[in-house]
């Protein structure tokens, strides 16, 4: 690690290989563990899931962030049992939200959309996690219908955001509404739906790590 560049180190046939990967001071990716570090702290994201969550938005967000070297924890809002998503894809959370918050904080808290947003909105536990995240100045990210969860819990009022069209009318009175694919306002990141999930996840990857790292992930996925 130097003052201008960071390096990633891996073992290849018993030898150590260093490759320059970017320009953020005191940050690097370990190719052995695929984790992104700044100083000694690994970047982290808590991705919530509940019955009815949109599986593309959930999976693409979690997967792209892991490809970017972010330590992703998948937390079930209703416990750690398997979750049935909106198109019947079943996801097994790493842990429950109740347990996950004990191991925080996380650099980003991510909400997928889908019909499950109603359960996010009704959950005091989700509301508390969002309020703590906002109070600490950490990233809050929501896609599709999930920005309506922010309104339900009084998060980021007055900021710019976007959402799935069906919840637009719920948001226009309390937020500066945009129809851009991804909207970033400080530590708030929002996006529109399944078709913008890669844009959303890559924007998060860039915000958590850096632009060069996000571009490498994008290129490797042939986007």
| Judgement on whether residues 15 and 75 belong to the same structural domain of the protein | no
| Judgement on whether residues 202 and 174 belong to the same structural domain of the protein | yes
Query: Quick one: which of 108, 61, 107, 115 has its CA closest to 85?
Result: 115
Largest distance between two CA atoms of the chain: 60
| Judgement on whether residues 170 and 160 belong to the same structural domain of the protein | yes
User: What is the sign of the dihedral through the CA atoms of 169, 174, 179 and 184?
Assistant: negative
| Judgement on whether residues 31 and 92 belong to the same structural domain of the protein | no
- Helix (H/G/I), strand (E/B), else coil: 137: coil
Cβ contacts of residue 28 below 8 Å, gap of 6+? 1, 6, 7, 8, 9, 21, 36, 37
Q: Provide the CATH number for the domain around residue 166.
A: 3.40.50.880
> What pLDDT does 42 receive?
84
User: What is the sign of the dihedral through the CA atoms of 151, 117, 47 and 193?
Assistant: negative
Torsion of CA 86, 87, 89, 95, to 10 degrees: 0
| Judgement on whether residues 93 and 165 belong to the same structural domain of the protein | yes
Cβ contacts of residue 187 below 8 Å, gap of 6+? 134, 137, 138, 139, 140
| Judgement on whether residues 36 and 68 belong to the same structural domain of the protein | no
Give catalytic status of residue 8 as yes or no.
Answer: no
Q: Could you tell me if 133 and 183 are in contact, meaning their C-beta atoms sit under 8 angstroms apart?
A: no
Which of 8, 27, 85, 144 is catalytic? The answer is 144
Spell out the alpha helix ranges (H) of 5-123: 55-67, 97-100, 117-122
- Helix (H/G/I), strand (E/B), else coil: 44: strand
| Judgement on whether residues 205 and 122 belong to the same structural domain of the protein | yes
What's the whole-model pTM score? 0.84
Tell me the residue range of the domain where 125 lies.
Answer: 43-220
| Judgement on whether residues 27 and 127 belong to the same structural domain of the protein | no
| Judgement on whether residues 22 and 124 belong to the same structural domain of the protein | no
> What pLDDT does 25 receive?
45
- The total of structural domains in the chain comes to 2
Per-residue pLDDT of the chain (223 residues; tens, 9 = 90+): 333 323 232 322 333 333 334 444 445 444 434 555 555 478 999 999 999 999 999 999 999 999 999 999 999 999 999 999 999 999 999 999 999 999 999 999 999 999 999 999 999 999 999 999 999 999 999 999 999 999 999 999 999 999 999 999 999 999 999 999 999 999 999 999 999 999 999 999 999 999 999 999 999 999 9
| Judgement on whether residues 69 and 17 belong to the same structural domain of the protein | no
Q: What is the full DSSP assignment across 78-110?
A: T-SS-EE-TTS-EE--SEEHHHHGGG---SEEE
Query: Quick one: which of 36, 55, 56, 33 has its CA closest to 45?
Result: 36
Q: What is the full DSSP assignment across 190-223?
A: EE-SGGGHHHHHHHHHHHHS-HHHHHHHHHHTT-
> What pLDDT does 35 receive?
56
| Judgement on whether residues 92 and 201 belong to the same structural domain of the protein | yes
> What pLDDT does 9 receive?
28
| Judgement on whether residues 36 and 55 belong to the same structural domain of the protein | no
- Helix (H/G/I), strand (E/B), else coil: 166: helix
CB-based contacts of 17-22 (< 8 A; 24+ apart in sequence): 21/212, 21/213, 21/216, 22/210, 22/212, 22/213
């Amino acid at each position: 690690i130097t003052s201008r560049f960071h390096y990633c180190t891996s073992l290849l046939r018993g030898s150590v290989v260093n490759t320059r990967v970017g320009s953020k001071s005191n940050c690097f990716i370990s190719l052995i563990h695929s984790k992104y570090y700044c100083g000694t702290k690994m970047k982290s994201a808590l991705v919530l899931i509940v019955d009815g969550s949109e599986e593309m938005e959930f999976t693409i967000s979690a997967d792209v962030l892991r490809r970017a070297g972010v330590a992703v924890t998948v937390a079930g809002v209703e416990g750690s049992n398997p979750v049935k998503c909106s198109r019947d894809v079943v996801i097994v959370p790493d842990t429950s939200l109740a347990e996950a918050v004990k191991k925080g904080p996380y650099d980003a808290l991510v909400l997928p959309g889908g019909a499950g947003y109603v359960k996010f909105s009704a959950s005091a536990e989700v509301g508390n996690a969002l309020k703590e995240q906002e109070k600490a100045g950490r990233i809050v990210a929501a896609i599709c219908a999930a920005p309506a969860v922010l309104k339900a819990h009084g998060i980021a009022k007055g900021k710019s955001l976007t959402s799935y069209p069906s919840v637009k009318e719920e948001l226009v009175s309390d937020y500066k509404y945009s129809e851009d694919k991804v909207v970033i306002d400080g530590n708030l990141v929002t996006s529109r739906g399944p078709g913008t999930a890669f844009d959303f996840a890559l924007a998060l990857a860039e915000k958590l790590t850096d632009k060069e790292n996000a571009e490498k992930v994008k290129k490797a996925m042939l986007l």
